[in-house]
Structure 1
């Protein structure tokens, strides 16, 4: 029997709550790992992916021998690294004679393997091979356009699954409002055949158009590569039901003395108790009293003071 340790300190409890699955997800982090053997092409691919997701990615450069995503028992190390880094998406690269330049992209739920897609990388071109101005390139924190071209993304199960994984990998944090000035790049995925996808990365350049709306021009900045789907594994039905839970729309709690009007908007009522003037606390020295004393003092100062001898005669 495994002993389950429960957190004793409040700090540990809060940290576990942050890492627990949430009905409303925040931004997803990406974990990038190397296999036992990797080629120079695959190392460049992993580096390019890390540069594209530098603000929300964790990259390990050491070789991992015990990771075999599609084999039973080979997922333990992946789940351990996912829990350690709090990453819900991972990219694992390996190279062998049977599967050269192999790339495995997967997602996790509650740090358990959710689904997997294995692709082969061909015709890779890095950012260095494209001559472009660095000012035009993508900026940290910007939002990209993601375009999927081809009917195969809707009709073929492998490409449909790859579309979901790529969309989760590159879209970043989901937002409700978007500033167009922050959209400076576009990912284009073209279904060339039933198992091949052309992936390109372009920067958006704004030019003058003679109107208020500028003219947009696409400039390819890399990376560019062909992704050949080799294997994929769909998630378990039980895990899908658990992961797809959503928060039910709860009725808003009614606020007392507040109503909505179609013309005036939000209207509130304020109740003020009756004021009892007789019981109000007044200041000890009123201004009127001070003025009367000041006037009496001025009159006394204007009169002649009687002499001491005259005062003694009056007293006798």
Structure 2
């Protein structure tokens, strides 16, 4: 039987609220890990991927060996799903090395902390950030977005290439934004389909003077650079894909009348008051504000307009004594 564990601390309650389903999901986090055997090439690839994603604070890298993680094998995904739920990561990159599959890299996604889809590629002709002199040049600036260029008909015609395209775009998507400054486009990923391989290149964008408002663009390769050979891939079933792509209707909040928000003050309300009749209010009034005097002044004003004398007031006057 399923047992619901209630949080015992406020910190645990806040963490569960962050992981709860939302209409607008959080930005995806990437989990990087490797198996029992891993080559120096795969260590460099995982380190470079972590370097490109850590600027956003959406990457987590494990340095210890993970014996129980074996993608594409029965029961070998349980440990991976456990780590995904523990770290709240919906993407993963797993590196391994064997005689049958050397320099093996598996990229995948999670849905509800279960493996949604994944693809296995072999890494060849790898060049790291340090070897190409990338370093700080390849580090994405906060708030910047990458460009993607997919060259070749295979990315539209062949299902395995189309699947790899979706995973690469989702891997470096980051936070979804509506507007972006031209300075925010600082890098581009070039993916070229050549036979059964995908030539993956990472270049930095340099804006040069061109004598007009539109700058001249130059591309400088900063790494990582590698050739990927597609081996195995597993796409989600139609029912699972339909469940993951389901769009929930947005609930519109009922508008509260006469309430608005201000960036400095905060919540601002407007109050409508009825007309106040000060003459009928029981207050301590001056002599000039008494009702009898007001009526006498109004009568004199009417008499002055009509040319007749005003009638004497009924209110008694105090005699002045010397």
Q: Normalised by the shorter chain, which TM-score bucket?
A: 0.7 to 0.9
Distance in 2, Cα, partners of 1:64 & 1:97: 18
- 1:9-33 Cα offsets, whole Å, 9 max, x none, are 5543432231134332221110000
Aligned: 1:72 with 2:74: yes
Change in CA separation of 1:126 and 1:9 when aligned onto 2, cut-off 3 Å: closer
Does structure 2 conserve the Cα–Cα contact (< 8 Å) formed by 1:34 and 1:93?
Answer: yes
Does structure 1 conserve the Cα–Cα contact (< 8 Å) formed by 2:121 and 2:232?
Answer: yes
Change in CA separation of 1:137 and 1:75 when aligned onto 2, cut-off 3 Å: closer
Aligned: 1:60 with 2:94: no
Q: TM-score, normalised by structure 2?
A: 0.78
Give 3-state SS (helix, strand or coil) of 1:163's partner: helix
Alignment of 1:236-275 (within 5 A): 236-249=237-250, 253=254, 271-275=272-276
Deviation, 1:134, is 4.0
Task: Please name the residue that 1:212 is paired with.
Answer: 213
Distance in 2, Cα, partners of 1:145 & 1:237: 30
Q: TM-score, normalised by structure 1?
A: 0.79
Change in CA separation of 1:281 and 1:177 when aligned onto 2, cut-off 3 Å: farther
Task: Please name the residue that 1:30 is paired with.
Answer: 30
Alignment of 1:1-316 (within 5 A): 1=1, 3-7=3-7, 11-54=11-54, 55-131=57-133, 134-135=136-137, 138-193=140-195, 195-249=196-250, 253=254, 271-280=272-281
Flag structure 1 segments of 5+ consecutive residues without an equivalent. 259-268, 289-316
Distance in 1, Cα, partners of 2:83 & 2:272: 59
Change in CA separation of 1:104 and 1:21 when aligned onto 2, cut-off 3 Å: farther
Deviation, 1:256, is 5.0
Does structure 1 conserve the Cα–Cα contact (< 8 Å) formed by 2:137 and 2:204?
Answer: no
Flag structure 2 segments of 5+ consecutive residues without an equivalent. 260-269, 290-322
Count matched residues.
277
Deviation, 1:241, is 2.2
Deviation, 1:166, is 0.6
